[in-house]
């Protein structure tokens, strides 16, 4: 297709949120013929991420789900809590499979222009959004961006700013030591010297698994420190020395965990989506299903000519819960291991996932908090009262 400077919709950023929005647009009889421009610095699929989620509703591209688990486990203080899920299934999708599939759809569709370009800035002009790139400026009725931090991002109040940072190694061993039906969601029985630390093990077969070294802290580690930690864990937990496994791939990442409110709009015609739009749940880092719900609601609004909605953000109640936990993760990481231990010991895993999905009512939430040490949370409420009483 010949490149134009005017489009109906521009999507700047071909990550999980931008490509999910492409998918929903292509499923819409109203929107699929609109002139759409997809921009990113690179449109080459990479095997850089594994997105995990749980869901009891339909998600697009179900055939792209790489693996599904029925049972979750949590380890702390030499205890293992294991439960087969009833309502949910825990699933993962590889970024390589997802991006390759959606980008092929985009390339094959006549109304979509795919362009590799560096996004410089955004603006508005005569009721349209504008994207300024190193290949020129492009205009559209609506622009959806996940490429740049919001313009007023640094002006938003923030008291706690942590990161969920991690490195994962996908390994293969000769002996069948993994259970492909069980995820080790959190193994806290490791050194906590840096702050809240755990290992996360996703077995894909009896001999293959992704092992992630994960932290809820402010400072990241060097690649060598992550690797050393994973190797030590494999030796201590599975008796696997260097010669006992091969590494198929690695992934490294950092997800914001902060109480800052992310602005929904860059300008009046440029909407922030994905992580830069505040779709990441601050206390867990989970984003994937929230992105899909938001993208679906955007397309439903566009179909009727309505303004895209700011939706799928946490309600005040869940913002308060997130702020309390974020405060404890930063100020009292030692108690957090006990909190997670008690959470999974005293509540069903389905109930916990439903709570993390923000799909519970206050009665459920009271029963969950009643199962946890209450003094740290009262302290968190007191210390963060200035945020809580002003709307979190």
β-bridge mates for residue 253, sequence order? 166
> What string of pLDDT tens digits covers the 392 residues of the chain?
446 799 999 999 999 999 999 999 999 999 999 999 999 999 999 899 999 999 765 666 778 999 999 999 999 999 999 999 999 999 999 999 999 999 999 999 999 999 999 999 999 989 999 999 999 999 999 999 999 998 888 889 999 999 999 999 999 999 999 999 999 999 999 999 999 999 999 999 999 999 999 999 999 999 999 999 999 999 999 999 999 999 999 999 999 999 999 999 999 999 999 999 999 999 999 999 899 999 999 999 999 999 999 866 789 999 999 999 999 999 999 999 999 999 999 999 999 999 999 999 999 999 999 999 999 999 999 999 999 998 88
User: What is the Rg, in whole angstroms, of the alpha carbon atoms belonging to the chain?
Assistant: 22
Stated pTM of the model:
0.94
Which token pair is 355?
């709570």
String of b and e for 230-247 (b: at least 16 CB within 10 Å)? Answer: bbebbeebbebeeeebee
Structure confidence by residue, pLDDT tens digits, 155-196: 899 999 999 999 999 999 999 999 999 999 999 999 999 999
Q: How far is CA 10 from the centre of its chain?
A: 23
β-bridge mates for residue 258, sequence order? 161
Which token pair is 224?
């060598």
String of b and e for 206-226 (b: at least 16 CB within 10 Å)? Answer: ebbbbbbbbbbbbebbeeeeb
Going from the C-alpha of 283 to that of each of 118, 178, 216, 235, 379, the distances in angstroms are 31, 29, 9, 30, 17
Contact 56, 88 (CB under 8 A): yes
What angle, 0 to 180 degrees and rounded to 10, lies between the N-to-C axes of helices 16-27 and 288-303? Answer: 40
């Amino acid at each position: 297709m010949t490149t134009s400077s005017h489009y109906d919709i521009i999507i700047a950023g071909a990550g999980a949120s931008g490509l999910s929005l492409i998918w929903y647009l292509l499923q819409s009889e109203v929107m699929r013929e609109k002139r759409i421009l997809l921009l990113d610095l690179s449109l080459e699929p990479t095997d850089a991420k594994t997105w995990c989620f749980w869901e009891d509703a339909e998600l697009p591209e179900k055939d792209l789900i790489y693996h599904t688990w029925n049972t979750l486990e949590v380890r702390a203080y030499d205890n293992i809590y294991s439960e087969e899920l009833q309502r949910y299934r825990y699933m993962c999708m590889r970024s390589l499979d997802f991006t390759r599939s959606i980008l092929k759809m985009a390339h094959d569709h006549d109304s979509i222009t795919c362009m590799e370009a560096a996004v410089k800035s955004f603006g508005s002009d005569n009721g349209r959004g504008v994207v300024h790139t190193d290949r020129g400026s492009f205009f559209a009725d609506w622009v959806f961006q996940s490429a740049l931090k919001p313009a007023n991002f640094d002006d938003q109040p923030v008291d706690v700013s942590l990161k969920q940072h991690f490195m994962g190694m996908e390994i293969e061993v000769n002996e069948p030591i993994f259970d492909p039906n069980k995820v080790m969601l959190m193994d806290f029985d490791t050194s906590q010297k840096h702050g809240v630390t755990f290992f996360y093990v996703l077995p894909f077969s009896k001999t293959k698994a992704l092992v992630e070294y994960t932290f809820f802290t402010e400072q990241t580690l060097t690649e060598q420190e992550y690797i050393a930690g994973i190797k030590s864990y494999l030796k201590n937990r599975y008796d696997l020395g260097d010669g006992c496994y091969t590494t198929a791939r690695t992934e490294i990442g950092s997800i914001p965990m902060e109480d800052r409110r992310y602005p929904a709009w860059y300008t009046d015609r440029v909407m922030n989506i994905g992580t830069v739009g505040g779709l990441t749940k601050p206390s867990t880092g989970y984003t994937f299903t929230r992105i899909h719900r938001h993208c679906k609601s955007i397309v439903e609004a566009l179909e009727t000519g309505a303004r895209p909605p700011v939706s799928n953000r946490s309600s005040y109640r869940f913002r308060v819960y997130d702020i309390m936990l974020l405060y404890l993760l930063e100020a009292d990481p030692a108690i957090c291991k006990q909190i997670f231990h008690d959470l999974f010991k005293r509540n069903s895993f389905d109930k916990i996932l439903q709570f993390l999905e923000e799909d519970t009512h206050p009665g459920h939430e009271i029963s969950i908090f009643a199962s946890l040490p209450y003094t740290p949370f009262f302290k968190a409420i007191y210390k963060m009262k200035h945020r809580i009483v002003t709307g979190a």
